[in-house]
Chains A and B, each alone.
Chain A
């Protein structure tokens, strides 16, 4: 499929964006429409450790998970749900395992849909297994296994196809631990986008062939790694200003899925999705306060501001007082959705959106930049040079720094301000010539990072 870069914004202004509405809603699964005027919970889960021992055990585990969720949805009276199965590595490495799980889950979902009319869809997210023990091997034999996995799950019941791709991570892991802004720009903005272009043309082609939805990627491997390392307010592992810089650069990278044919909904852990939604108009999944079962963040309310699907990220399947974990978390997610949907029905969606945003706006540099008005501004910087993958990533980084440098009401520590000043100066010093930047980075990182293989990016 062809690559069609975004050079304009889908929304004419930030205030147009709300939860539950996307400019380009998408139909999927069993009567579900995403971004078409209502929000839906997206429940994500992980099998218990011992379930990975055999295909039979895994299928059985996912059957229990699926039944538990569907039963709780009906018991408490929720109208729609999306289930996301992020593959454990055994399922992608053995495509028939992933297919068996998808088939078992979809069979149960169809039964509930038939009996109760609940709207639902199944997302499957194969693991990005395109690597060997020592090196990433993005275009080697493992690519065939990944694509075979996509083919088989699409045939077996998956409605939405996603992945969390790894392109650029070998450089990013090195760069982020050394406060290396040009390295982050090269890793996420350039290498990450080049891999996305390659990968998502293939995935979208499979989706089109099988009549399912090619639903998008997330920069989990890089921007979420930065967010996770940055941690809470008292952690001293990475300045939060650098974490949001990685996030801003991740937006044009995740956008590339849609430029290669994906139509959404974007993956839940893509906190950059607010920027991607502003540019592409595609529906997006988000996670925040109801994903504390998986991780902590500093924007639990704010990130709900414009969601179309609302996710819990992932929870290990086991028992709690209120039922199994998937029952508890799916119920919580759906009460959040019921509130948003009530706001939509009553015409109060912008009030609720703003309350969610305002409650976390000043919590952290990350939440400040991802507040929908500032995120929209980062989006505008990206589309300004939308055809040039380096320039648009650099623009995103500069817009992020400008937003923080000109912030009003945001308190930052000296560490955060120091890291911001250093990043701003480094960005000022970077060339605006893509070819110069790419060739300089290639030489530098070939020398500094032994596991960097340019052939992964056809370089």
Chain B
């Protein structure tokens, strides 16, 4: 069997570029210094739900307000995770596990108070009608939640009329659509037309499988997302005042 020296054939750039710091070391530099918050942030990073609750109980017992803990400890811990993911220091499964732990922490905080926490904004997530592939949508939803957005998850195979009704009811700052096939992604156009007929100008961020920038650019509210991680960045941009044109200028890279 022929085995050839790979020199000149292959460079594993990822091995060459690897950072010397471990994810744990990188995270340690970012944890909050406050004694009661740090264990919560660490537990979020580790994705350990039980430890998150334990940390929250200790903080509440020490007099911290449960709802304030969402912003002061849970979201701070989650930001460590999302920042390190953005920097390429940790992988998506770490974010998913941390998001699970954070959401459980938020539910616990809510159960300890009569107040309702304020979130950054609402985003609706849907999979195109006729399409049952929803792993992309699940990743988008998790990343949005991890970044402090309330997600209205319409699930998969969502009829266009249902998407319109949800937008009218929830008035989100953005809707996301994912699809795997060229024929199912055509449903995005229908959704777009229904929204436009109703006078809605909210950005409709679409991506997944066969979806491409050229297609998404053919309908007026469409913004193409190449990666799931673009979704929270788009939501942040909208909060900062970006409209469809501004989002296209920022996220349409091809």
Contact = CB atoms under 8 A, between A and B. Distances in A.
A361 B4 CA distance: 9
Q: What is the interface of chain B mostly: helix, strand, loop, or mixed? A: loop
Interface string B111-142: 00000000000000000001110110011001
Interface string A136-179: 00000000000000000000000000000000000001001111
Contacts of A179: 91, 93, 97
A447 interface: no
A233 B11 CA distance: 10
A321 B185 CA distance: 25
Given A362-B10, A373-B1, A90 B132 contact: no
B153 to A, nearest CB: 12
A233 B12 contact: yes
A49 B188 CA distance: 11
Contacts of B135: 173, 177, 225, 229
Contacts of A359: 4, 9
Contact of A236 (B15, B85, B181): B85
A89 B14 contact: no
B2 interface: yes
Interface in A344-397: 351, 354-355, 357-364, 373
Contacts of B142: 177
A88 B10 contact: no
Contact of B92 (A51, A234, A238): A238
B14 A234 contact: yes
Interface in B125-168: 130-132, 134-135, 138-139, 142, 155-157
Interface string A391-415: 0000000000000000001011111
A176 to B, nearest CB: 8
B183 interface: yes
Contacts of A51: 183
A209 interface: no
Contact of B90 (A52, A178, A236, A357): A236
Interface string B177-206: 000011111100100000000000000000
Contacts of B6: 361-362, 409
Contact of A414 (B4, B18, B100): B18
A202 interface: no
A50 B2 contact: no
A47 interface: yes
Given A358-B4, A361-B3, A373-B1, A177 B13 contact: no
A237 B15 CA distance: 16
Contacts of A409: 3, 6
Interface residues of B, number: 44
A233 B92 contact: no
Interface string A203-225: 00000000000000000000001
B182 A49 contact: yes
B96 A177 contact: yes
B245 interface: no
B100 to A, nearest CB: 8
B217 interface: no
Contacts of B68: none
A225 B209 CA distance: 10
Contacts of A435: none
B91 A415 contact: yes
B108 interface: no
B157 A49 contact: no
A110 interface: no
Interface in A42-99: 46-52, 88-90
Given A179-B93, A229-B92, A52 B183 contact: yes
Contacts of A355: 2
A415 B94 CA distance: 12
B14 A233 contact: yes
A343 B182 CA distance: 37
A15 to B, nearest CB: 7
Contact of B157 (A52, A133, A354, A413): A133
B184 A46 contact: no
B90 A413 contact: no
B155 A354 contact: no
Contact of A48 (B132, B139, B182): B182
B227 to A, nearest CB: 9
Nearest to B132: A131
B91 A234 contact: no
Interface in B89-112: 89-93, 96-97, 100
Contacts of B14: 233-234, 413
Contact of B15 (A15, A412, A419): A412
A20 B50 CA distance: 56
Contacts of A412: 15
B215 interface: yes
Interface string B1-40: 1111010011011110110001000000000000000000
B143 to A, nearest CB: 11
Contacts of A411: 12, 15
Contacts of B155: 133-134
A351 B1 CA distance: 9
Interface in B44-73: none
B210 interface: yes
A336 interface: no
Of the listed residues B97, B130, B155, B182, the one surrounded by the most CB atoms of chain A closer than 10 A to its CB is B182
A357 B183 CA distance: 36
Nearest to B13: A233
B92 A236 contact: yes
13 contacts: A49-B185, A52-B186, A89-B184, A90-B130, A133-B132, A173-B138, A178-B93, A229-B135, A236-B92, A237-B91, A237-B92, A239-B91, A358-B3
Closest 7 CB pairs of A and B: A354-B2, A52-B183, A49-B186, A88-B183, A237-B92, A179-B93, A233-B14
Given A51-B183, A178-B100, A233-B12, 7 more contacts: A88-B181, A88-B182, A89-B130, A89-B131, A90-B130, A176-B93, A236-B92
